[in-house]
Amino acid sequence: MKATIPYLFFPGTTAEAFTFYQQALGGRLTLTRYRDSPMASRAQGPDADAVFHAELHLTASLAIMASDSCGDNRAQLKQGNTLTICLDAESEAEAQRTFSALSAGGAVTMPMQKTPWAAAFGTCRDRFGVEWMINYSVPGAPH
């Protein structure tokens, strides 16, 4: 396996969420709307402006992807309750900054703290309902 890429589905808020994630995490963002996708002929009405595919490349081997659910699929979403994204920071300062950025406007579910496996670990739910774990382990320490 080359990489693990979390894929998220949103009820029409992918562009807003991924713009927020890019501001919080940095990286390179690309958004493709249904109207500009291979599915353009199927996109009708408001779904034509929905996001067909979003990619936020944080590093050469780390990305987050998503799309808007359209039509009947949109009503079936239970946003944020089936996926948690864990980010392993390179420093405690980076972990703190990332945690603060992602939890802004959301909810802290476990404040940043020392744990048996990490020098700093915390969990939050961002303002879009997505669950995040932010982790920093001292290099060479057991996990």
Average pLDDT, the chain: 86
CATH number at residue 21: 3.30.720.100
pLDDT tens track for 88-128: 898 999 999 999 999 999 999 999 999 888 899 999 999 99
Residue 47: predicted pLDDT: 80
Q: Evaluate whether 121 touches 113 at the Cβ level (below 8 Å).
A: yes
> Cα(131)–Cα(109) distance, rounded to whole angstroms?
9
Partner residues linked to 57 by β-bridges: 28, 63
Per the structure block, which two tokens stand in for 60? 């050469």
CATH classification at residue 134: 3.10.180.10
Element (H, E) at 54: strand 51-59
- Please tell me the predicted confidence (pLDDT) of residue 34: 87
Range of the domain at 66: 1-70
30 - beta bridge partners? Answer: 55
pTM: 0.75
